Amino acid sequence: MIFAITVTGIMANTLIAPAIPDILGDLGITEAGAGLLVAAATLPGVVVAPVIGLLADRYGRREVVVPCLVLFGLSGGMASFAPTFPVLLALRLVQGVGSAGLINLAVVLIADHWEGADRARLIGQNSAVLTISLAVLPPLGGLLTDVGGWRATFLPYWIGLVTAGGAAVVLGPTRRQDIRVGDQVRQALRFLRSPRVLTAMGSGVVLFLLIFGLLLTVLPLYLADGFGLGPTSRGLVLGLPALTATIGALSLGRLTARFGARPLVLAGSAVLTGAFIVIGEAPVLPVVVAGALFYGLGEGLAVPSLQNIVAGAAPASSRGSVVAVWVGGVRLGQTAGPLLAGVALTRVDAGATFLAGAGIAAALLLVQLVTGQPTGRRERP
C-alpha cells in the first residue's frame, strides 16, 4: 500500500513531462510556460505539506492520506478537459494540494513500522519503486501523447481514486494525539531546529530545484529542439535515469549499514555535479544519454539517504510534522526550479542552463563538506 501511494504521488509531473512541448504549442504558450506548468503541481506543497504533517500526527495517517488521494485523482483526471492554459494551471494547483500529502506520508509510514538499517532498506525499496515509476511513466506519457494527444496523458491520474479506496481498507487507524496544537508545534520545532535536519532540508531544496528545473523542464525542450526527438523518444530518454537510480536505491540498506548516510549524500551530490556537466557539454545524443544515466545514480544515492536522515530525526509523535516540513522545503525547490529554468531559457540555451546547474550542485557539495552536515551517525537496528 505504501508503494502504491508513492507511485500515485510521483505521477504529478513525470507523466506529463514528455507532453510539455505539445501542451504549450496547442494552447499557444511560449517556452516560459513550461516552468509554470510544472511548478503549479508543486507550489501548494510548500505551504500545505507542513500542515498535512501536523494533521497526520494529530488525527492519523489514514485519515489524511485518503482525502489527499481523492483530491489528487479528481483534479488530475479533470485536467484532460481543460479548455485553456489558465484552467489547466488551476487544476494542477488543486492536484498539487493532494500530492503534498502522498510521498512524504509514505516515508512516514515506513518510519512508523521499521527502524535502523531495516528502515533504510525499506526507504531504499520505496525509492526504487519511485524510480522504476520514473522509468515507466515518461515513456507512457510520450506514447499517450503520440496516440491520443496531450490530453490523454492526464487520464491515468484517475488511478488516484483507486489508490484512495485501497488505502481506506489497508491502512490501520492511528492513535490520535490529545495535546494542544501549540504544544504539538513546539515539540516538532525542537527537532526541526537541529543542524542535522536543517542541512538535510537545505540539501533537499537545492537537489529538487535542480531535478525539477533541469531534468523535468529543460531536458524535454533540449531533446526536442537540440536533437529533434518526438514525444515517445523524449519519454524514453527521460525514463533512463530511473534505471541507475533504482540500482542506487536498492543498495541503500547495505551501503548505509557499511558507510552511514552522510557519505552517500556527499557521493550523490558529487555525481550530480558531474552528470550536469556531461549533459550540458554533450555534442551528440549518446552523450546526453550517458549523462542522464550518471545523474540517476546520484539521485538514487542522495535523495533516499536524505529521507532516511530526516525520518530518523524525530519520534513517531512528531515524525509526520518533521518529514512534512522537509517535504515543504523540497516543494519549494520543485517550484522554484522550473520557474528559474524558464527564465534561464529566455536568456541562454539549454546546455548553458545545465552547466549553471552543475555550478549550483558543486556549491552544495562544498557546503556539505565544510559544515560536516547532515551527520551520518548510525542508529542501532
Q: What is the average pLDDT across 169-176?
A: 74
How many other CB atoms are there within 10 angstroms of residue 212's CB atom?
29
Rounded to an integer, what distance in angstroms lies between the CA atom of residue 380 and that of residue 258? 13
Higher-pLDDT residue of 329, 184: 329
Rounded to an integer, what distance in angstroms lies between the CA atom of residue 86 and that of residue 188? 37
Residue 158 confidence class, pLDDT cut points 50, 70, 90: very high
Q: What's the pLDDT at 379?
A: 41
Phi and psi dihedrals of 375, rounded to 5? Answer: -65, 155
Higher-pLDDT residue of 330, 363: 363
Task: Count Cα atoms within 13 angstroms, Cβ side, for 87.
Answer: 8
Rounded to an integer, what distance in angstroms lies between the CA atom of residue 87 and that of residue 29? 13
Distance of CA 348 to the CA centre of its chain: 26
SS (H, E, C) the chain: CHHHHHHHHHHHHHCCHHHHHHHHHHHCCCCCHHHHHHHCCCHHHHHHHHHHHHHHHHHCHHHHHHHHHHHHHHHHHHHHHCCCHHHHHHHHHHHHHHHCCCHHHHHHHHHHHCCHHHHHHHHHHHHHHHHHHHHHHHHHHHHHHHHHCHHHHHHHHHHHHHHHHHHHHHCCCCCCCCCCHHHHHHHHHHHHCCHHHHHHHHHHHHHHHHHHHHHHHHHHHHHHHHHCCCHHHHHHHHHCHHHHHHHHHHCHHHHHHHHCHHHHHHHHHHHHHHHHHHHHCCCCHHHHHHHHHHHHHHHHHHHHHHHHHHHCCCCHHHHHHHHHHHHHHHHHHHHHHHHHHHHHHCCCCHHHHHHHHHHHHHHHHHHHHHHCCCCCCCCCC
Domains and CATH numbers, the chain: 2-173+181-371 (1.20.1250.20)
Rounded to an integer, what distance in angstroms lies between the CA atom of residue 122 and that of residue 111? 9
Would the pLDDT of 104 be above 70? yes
Would the pLDDT of 355 be above 90? yes
For the four alpha carbons of 93, 97, 102 and 104, in that order, the dihedral sign comes to positive
Would the pLDDT of 71 be above 80? yes
The tens digit of pLDDT for each residue in 119-135 reads: 888 888 888 887 788 77
Rounded to an integer, what distance in angstroms lies between the CA atom of residue 126 and that of residue 253? 12
How many other CB atoms are there within 10 angstroms of residue 370's CB atom?
8
Q: What's the pLDDT at 378?
A: 40
Higher-pLDDT residue of 227, 327: 227
Q: What's the pLDDT at 179?
A: 65
